[in-house]
């Protein structure tokens, strides 16, 4: 498993207007949202990066007004799944 360590200089971390305990979580959230918005990261992987449930991530997307990546193919798959559960 590849692991990436991102180094951010201390002066930038100090410049963040966040309590020290929230810095890592907020940076993860911003990275996940930016990559999802660009289509570089799926919603599932973006959620995993920030440790959010699907519903928490959906709420965050709504608050940020970030469009969801949901295609006609996704809809067809969801409909097939829903019909198979009946």
Q: Are 60 and 68 in contact (CB under 8 A)?
A: no
At 9 the pLDDT is 95
pTM: 0.79
CA distances from 21 to 13, 14, 18, 30, 66 (A): 12, 12, 8, 16, 26
pLDDT tier at 79 (50, 70, 90 boundaries)? Answer: confident
Domain assignments of the chain as residue spans, ordered by start: 22-84
Section 48-54 average pLDDT: 93
Cα–Cα distance measured from residue 45 to residue 47, given in angstroms and rounded to the nearest whole number? 5
Cα–Cα distance measured from residue 23 to residue 39, given in angstroms and rounded to the nearest whole number? 24
- Res 19 pLDDT > 90: yes
């Amino acid at each position: 498993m590849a692991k990436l360590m991102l180094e951010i200089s201390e002066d930038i971390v100090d410049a963040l207007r966040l309590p020290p305990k929230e810095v890592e979580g907020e940076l993860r959230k911003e990275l996940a949202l930016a990559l999802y918005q660009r289509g570089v990261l799926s919603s599932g992987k973006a959620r995993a990066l920030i440790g959010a449930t699907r519903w928490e991530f959906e709420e965050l997307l709504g608050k940020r007004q970030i469009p969801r990546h949901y295609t006609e193919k996704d809809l067809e798959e969801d409909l097939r799944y829903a019909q198979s559960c009946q």
